[in-house]
Amino acid sequence: MGDGSASGNRGHNNNHNSHSGHSNKPEWLQQYDLIGKIGEGTYGLVFLARTKSPPNNRGKSIAIKKFKQSKDGDGVSPTAIREIMLLREISHENVVKLVNVHINHADMSLYLAFDYAEHDLYEIIRHHRDKVSHSINQYTIKTLLWQLLNGLNYLHSNWIIHRDLKPSNILVMGDGEEQGVVKIADFGLARIYQAPLKSLSENGVVVTIWYRAPELLLGAKHYTSAVDMWAVGCIFAELLTLKPLFQGAEVKAIPNPFQLDQLDKIFKVLGHPTLEKWPTLANLPHWQQDLQHIQGHKYDNTALHSVVHLSPKSPAYDLLSKMLEYDPRKRITAAQALEHEYFRIEPLPGRNALVPTQGEKVVNYPTRPVDTTTDFEGTTSIQPSQPVSSGNAVSGSMSGAHVGMNRSMPRPMLNMQRMQPQGMTAYNLASQAGMGGGMNPGGIPMQRGVSQAHHQQQLRRKDTGMGMGYPPQQKSRRF
């Protein structure tokens, strides 16, 4: 675990800085030039910084996520431990990569460092809806969706459910080698589901309500990776229409309350679920208990295609409807979705979602506001505010850390990227992290055979003109 001597700083002499302005800073913090705060969420603060470490990363933009202390006040947050343990086990081009982990021993506060991703889907959607007033081009939508599914397929192949997919947790890299590449972020609610010792419902409420699957809303005690696919369907629809598909009002009065309004929003678009289409519906607690509002209220199907403005015979509509299948056992998987006809017709998905290939105008997304008056402790700094160049802070990169925005949804927190394994001590803290009664993801078979086969599949997808696992625009359409 990084403690100040990680990331190439072992040669620094603390005495050298004893008379400088850094004298009261831990050594690890001296690796960075703090730019300012870019977000705040349930679990802490997110900052934008630049590295000082030579030789190649000097000036590189880094997002640093500071976790609040555990509610019990007894150390590191279980959420932070879960996130670290999962991120150090996985590596994929469409999943965020953790760069380093630091502990401030003075107060045992924990900091996670990630490469900075300049955009997220929430900000991209908001920009098109509120600023430029036109839809996202079809190439960009298809590329964003394909890469999201690509990353999710990797997670599900390794028995990981994300459980908090929403636009603000789907990052898109800005300028650089990975421009326009999607990164799934914020693993605070993610967990391994290969062999849970308890029902997953005991983990409490998961998934932001607008993207929460109907089986969760109806009180399912057990659920699968299908909950992530429902969320992807909601995100797909939002990319098409620039507004949330099911925008219900969340009840927060009691723990895990019955969300009638959210179900009402879903039923009005998709119609009333039936036992014929969803046989296990009868076993769900809220379906059994709320006869008046759920079973007694009949809904006319207002037709999903009219809401998302798609032809019922189009491949896009077919894929979306399969993602929004009521019965989770019938809902399309990420692997199946990647093979869908929608991704085999023009425009084909590519590597850079931000640069259309069909001659359409490139959209310049705005820079992210940065609070340059807040330091790493979350308090106001005496230093004056500094302007941030457009190349380093672009609106919407820290998943969910949207500064100054009024949003009714809980906000995820960050913009993340891959950690150096040698920078961490092996921690066996899975039981504190709530990972199935002490299950250590490092000790669980991570389906290496599956992921290796998937990796080989990725290699077969490579095209020298695109640099990543995407089909050639003019050649094979095989994924």
Q: CA 27, CA 46: separation in Å to the nearest integer?
A: 20
Q: CA 308, CA 244: separation in Å to the nearest integer?
A: 11
CB 193 within 8 A of CB 225: yes
Q: CA 183, CA 144: separation in Å to the nearest integer?
A: 10
CB 331 within 8 A of CB 229: yes
Q: CA 23, CA 209: separation in Å to the nearest integer?
A: 46
Give 15: exposed, middle or buried? Use CB within 10 Å, 0-12, 13-18, 19+.
exposed
CB 421 within 8 A of CB 88: yes
* 33 flagged as catalytic: no
CB 217 within 8 A of CB 284: no
Establish how many alpha carbons lie within 13 A of residue 55's alpha carbon, considering only the half-sphere containing its beta carbon: 0
Structural element, H or E, at residue 227: helix 226-241
Six token digits for residue 184: 């799934």
Q: Which of 115, 164, 186, 371 is catalytic?
A: 164
String of DSSP letters for 378-417: SSB-SSPP----TTT--SS-SBT--TT---SS----B---
18 three-class SS = coil
CB 47 within 8 A of CB 66: yes
Q: CA 27, CA 227: separation in Å to the nearest integer?
A: 42
First to last CA, the chain: 39
DSSP state of 470: -
Return the amino acid letter for 369. Answer: P
Q: CA 163, CA 227: separation in Å to the nearest integer?
A: 7
| Residue whose token pair is 């430029």 | 132
Six token digits for residue 382: 């005496």
- Please list the active-site residues: 164
